[in-house]
Amino acid sequence: MPAARESLLDAAYTALARRPWSAVRMVDVAAAAGVSRQTLYNEFGSKEGLARALVRREADGYLAGVERALSGPIDPRERLTATAEWMMSAAHDNALVRAMLTGCWSERLPSPTLTAVPSASAVPAQRRADGPLPSPGDFVRLVRDRAVAVLNGAGPLPPPDAELARSCELAVRLALSCVAAPPAEREGGVAELVRTALPRRLTA
């Protein structure tokens, strides 16, 4: 991603942490990024385009974190536990990620439509942002399917594919329930819930 575009997205994210999206001004985003307002419009086309690009970037960052979590310890249950912990951490630290995972967009946040919008942008990254954005259900499927693929590639596992897929989906949905209603620390948090719920024979 070109440096100017990344700087503009960083500036928009910082501005959003300080004020509602409705109060974020394009001219201020451009000034904070150290570029002209014309450069901002060339990159994103409009404030709606900037919102879509920001959501797309945060979605990509969240999914990259899932990949890192799944590449951890060899034990499949620990990989799924790490993934669930990442989901909790990302949702706690990033209001946009939390909104994307739950579908609950507050008035402070941009809330672009998830369906694709017409795009005349010459910027490839913006054309991608103008395409479909993931729904909460999409995130469940993306993380579940990636987990199944990674764990199948980690070597022969005792459970059949159907059970592995169910275990992966269970871990994802448990984490999402904890995003919506965080467990008390004395209960062991999401890690303990996932370890307890997953079948013992998932362990390699």
Q: Are 164 and 84 in contact (CB under 8 A)?
A: no
Here the tokens at position 33 are 């990024």
Tens-digit pLDDT profile for residues 65-83: 999 999 987 888 899 999 9
For residue range 162-182, list pLDDT tens digits in order: 888 899 999 999 999 999 998
User: How many Å apart are CA 13 and CA 11, to the nearest integer?
Assistant: 5
Residues ≥6 apart with Cβ < 8 Å to 115: 132
Q: Give me the helix-helix angle, 26-33 and 3-18, nearest 10°.
A: 120
The pTM assigned to this predicted structure is 0.90
Quick one: average pLDDT of 145-157? Answer: 77
Q: What's the CA angle centered on 183, arms 65 and 114, to 5 degrees?
A: 45
Closest residue by Cα to residue 175 from 157, 158, 155, 195: 195
Mean predicted confidence (pLDDT) in 99-108: 95
Q: Tokens 């060899």 correspond to what residue?
A: 74
- At 129-139, the pLDDT tens digits run 999 999 999 99
